């Protein structure tokens, strides 16, 4: 058994909790087709639930201690092991990587590599596709405007021409221009802009991927869909308003179906790709699931926290379920920050303000056991940070914006040669995907991977004819991946996190 061509769809943040009702309503025909023809089930993830770390583990089969990637702000030069496209390319296969986390800066590759939406630069491979990244990352070249009355509109013409060369449809280009002009004029609400931008990006990105696939015909390709994750962070309170005590009912009416519509957009993209590509093997998987953050009511004011710690631009911060993750490049800073936060307390009661837990090189900072709620505790209640001063509670916590957050159970659906039809998979982990893909392509997995080949998803006669094999490691068999620690650009990373909806 050997699959000829495999397509991996990265359905970031997807959960069966949203998918199953849509399947019952026949709203996701393309995902349903994969489930019917192959196996599907839950996919266990690895905390802390941050996408760069998890996707790097997915495509290497290894834990963060072996990949070197634990948080946002990382780049491809920091990866300390080979990922599946490195392994396959060394064996003469053509590969295509489109939108995967931690692939910037891209390298020359036997195929194509378009880095992710959290990239700190606009480089692509081949380089002629960088105009797409300039738009996606909001780093358009203003110099394309030549002056005059209509100067501010000339960049639209330049990028429309470039996008057309990359295969983006005229209809999608029209929708993107209409959205850009509407946003510039202030015609649209923030929620409408968030939704329309996410949908337009997916449609144009799908067209770009198909253009690249037609040019390079990769043996293994992976395509990242970010819309489900992005929309779920901001719109979950409209999707499940009963889980929250204070939701604008008019916005529920207007945006309550946006999350299902995001999944339907993703399904249409999958269908469009599969129709054109006709892969021999198809994997759809998410890095984690999603859930509501009911009764949260507050956000940590991370900028003030870093100012109090004296560590501005020395840490990357993202919110999580009921708290924040703090990642410092220097472990000594991490220890010092943790000690300061642990000691902060309400002067009037002596109650601690934060709980701090270390997870590898990441600090998880959450609320204490008592409820931080402005209905019960005054905004001006004084909080002491040792010799660093006194601050008001209302300065440290603000009205919550994010209503959905990651859960540990993602999704997996696989179809291909020798895969059981219409069955369920149990006990699958994000570490298992790379070993399983290698088996599907006729290569052994590696003993130094933390995952296993998902043998239970294959027909028995296939396993009898092609028993799973393992080599000791792929790290030493051909060549080492070029790696090198680089400084993290904290300011630009924060900009990317804001664009992704985390901040």
**CATH code of the domain covering residue 483:** 3.40.720.10
Q: Is residue 189 part of a domain?
A: yes
Chain segment 236-262, per-residue pLDDT in tens: 999 999 888 778 899 999 999 999 999
Angle, nearest 10°, between helix axes 190-216 and 258-277?
10
Question: Where is the domain boundary, 371, 401, 431?
Answer: 401
Q: How many structural domains comprise the chain? A: 2
- Please indicate, yes or no, whether residues 342 and 318 belong to a single structural domain of this protein: yes
Give the confidence band of 456 by pLDDT, cuts at 50, 70, 90. Answer: very high
What's the gap between Cα 6 and its chain centre? 21
DSSP secondary structure letter of residue 240: S
Question: Where is the domain boundary, 341, 367, 401?
Answer: 401
Question: Where is the domain boundary, 374, 401, 428?
Answer: 401
Q: Residue 333: give the domain boundaries.
A: 299-401
Q: Is residue 502 part of a domain?
A: no
Residue 448 confidence (pLDDT) above 90? yes
Chain segment 152-193, per-residue pLDDT in tens: 555 778 888 999 999 999 999 888 877 777 777 677 788 888
Q: Is residue 501 part of a domain?
A: no
DSSP secondary structure letter of residue 454: -
Q: Is-contact 400 296, C-beta < 8 A?
A: yes
- pLDDT at position 146: 39
Q: Is residue 235 part of a domain?
A: yes
- Please indicate, yes or no, whether residues 150 and 185 belong to a single structural domain of this protein: yes
- Please indicate, yes or no, whether residues 354 and 418 belong to a single structural domain of this protein: no
Q: Is residue 472 part of a domain?
A: yes
- Please indicate, yes or no, whether residues 38 and 111 belong to a single structural domain of this protein: yes
The DSSP bridge partners found for residue 324 are 319, 365
Residue 399 confidence (pLDDT) above 70? no
Nearest to 222 by CA among 64, 56, 355: 56
Q: Is residue 1 part of a domain?
A: no
Q: Is-contact 98 224, C-beta < 8 A?
A: yes
- Please indicate, yes or no, whether residues 181 and 201 belong to a single structural domain of this protein: yes
- Please indicate, yes or no, whether residues 287 and 230 belong to a single structural domain of this protein: yes
- Please indicate, yes or no, whether residues 394 and 430 belong to a single structural domain of this protein: no
Q: Is-contact 102 69, C-beta < 8 A?
A: yes
* Cβ-based neighbours of 205, under 8 Å, separated by 6 or more: 98, 99, 136
- Please indicate, yes or no, whether residues 358 and 395 belong to a single structural domain of this protein: yes
Nearest to 64 by CA among 79, 44, 77, 82: 79
In DSSP notation, 149-162 reads: TTGGGHHHHHHHHH
Of the ranges 197-211, 366-380, 383-397, which is most confident?
197-211
Chain segment 409-430, per-residue pLDDT in tens: 999 999 999 999 999 999 999 9
What angle (nearest 5°) sits at the alpha carbon of residue 51, between those of residues 440 and 192? 115
CA 435 to CA 449: how far, in whole Å? 8
- Please indicate, yes or no, whether residues 377 and 393 belong to a single structural domain of this protein: yes
- Please indicate, yes or no, whether residues 438 and 383 belong to a single structural domain of this protein: no
Give the confidence band of 400 by pLDDT, cuts at 50, 70, 90. Answer: low
Scanning the structure block, which residue is given the tokens 């639209």?
156
* Cβ-based neighbours of 478, under 8 Å, separated by 6 or more: 90
Q: Is residue 341 part of a domain?
A: yes
Angle, nearest 10°, between helix axes 302-309 and 331-343?
100
- Please indicate, yes or no, whether residues 256 and 384 belong to a single structural domain of this protein: no
- Please indicate, yes or no, whether residues 155 and 241 belong to a single structural domain of this protein: yes
The DSSP bridge partners found for residue 221 are 7, 96
Q: Is residue 143 part of a domain?
A: yes
Residue 496 structure tokens: 């990317």
CA 135 to CA 87: how far, in whole Å? 31
């Amino acid at each position: 058994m050997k699959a000829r061509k495999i397509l991996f769809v990265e359905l970031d943040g997807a959960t069966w909790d949203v998918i199953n009702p849509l399947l019952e309503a026949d709203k996701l025909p393309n995902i349903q087709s994969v489930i019917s023809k192959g196996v599907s089930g839950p996919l266990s993830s690895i905390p802390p639930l941050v996408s760069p770390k998890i996707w790097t583990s997915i495509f290497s089969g290894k834990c963060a201690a072996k990949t070197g990637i634990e948080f946002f702000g990382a780049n491809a030069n920091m990866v300390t092991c080979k990922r599946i496209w490195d392994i396959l390319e060394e064996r003469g296969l053509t590969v295509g990587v489109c939108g995967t986390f931690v692939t910037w800066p891209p390298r020359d590759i036997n195929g194509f590599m378009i880095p992710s939406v959290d990239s700190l630069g606009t480089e692509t491979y081949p380089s002629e596709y960088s105009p797409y990244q300039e738009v996606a990352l909001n780093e358009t070249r203003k110099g394309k405007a030549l002056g005059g009355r209509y100067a501010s509109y000339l960049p639209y013409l330049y990028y429309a021409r470039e996008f057309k060369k990359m295969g983006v449809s005229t209809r999608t280009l029209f929708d993107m221009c209409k959205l850009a002009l509407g946003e510039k004029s202030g015609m649209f609400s923030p929620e409408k802009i968030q939704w329309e931008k996410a949908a337009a990006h997916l449609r144009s990105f799908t067209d770009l991927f198909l253009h690249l696939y037609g040019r390079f015909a990769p043996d293994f390709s992976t395509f990242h869909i970010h819309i489900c994750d992005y929309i779920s962070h901001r719109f979950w309170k409209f999707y499940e308003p009963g889980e929250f005590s204070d939701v604008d009912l008019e916005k529920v009416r207007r945006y309550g179906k946006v999350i299902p519509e995001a999944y339907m957009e993703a399904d249409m993209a999958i269908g469009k790709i599969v129709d054109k590509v006709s892969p021999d093997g198809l994997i759809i998987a998410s890095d984690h699931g999603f859930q509501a953050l009911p009764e949260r009511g507050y956000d940590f004011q991370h900028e003030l926290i870093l100012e109090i710690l004296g560590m501005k631009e020395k840490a990357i911060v993202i919110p999580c379920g009921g708290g924040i993750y703090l990642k410092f490049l220097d472990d000594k800073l991490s220890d010092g920050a943790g000690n300061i936060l642990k000691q902060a307390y309400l002067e009037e009661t002596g109650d601690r303000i934060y709980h701090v837990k270390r997870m590898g090189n990441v600090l998880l900072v959450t609320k204490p056991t008592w409820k931080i709620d402005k209905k019960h505790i005054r905004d001006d209640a004084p909080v002491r940070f040792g010799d660093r001063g006194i601050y008001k509670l209302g300065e440290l916590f603000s009205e919550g914006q994010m209503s959905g957050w990651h859960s540990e159970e993602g999704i997996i659906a696989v179809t291909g040669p020798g895969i059981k039809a219409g069955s369920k998979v149990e006990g699958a982990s994000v570490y298992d995907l790379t070993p399983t893909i290698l088996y599907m392509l006729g290569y052994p997995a590696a003993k130094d991977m933390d995952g296993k080949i998902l043998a239970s998803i294959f027909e028995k006669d296939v396993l009898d004819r092609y028993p799973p094999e393992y080599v000791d490691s792929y790290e030493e068999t051909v060549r080492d991946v070029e790696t090198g620690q680089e400084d993290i650009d904290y300011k630009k990373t924060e900009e990317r996190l804001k664009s992704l909806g985390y901040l």
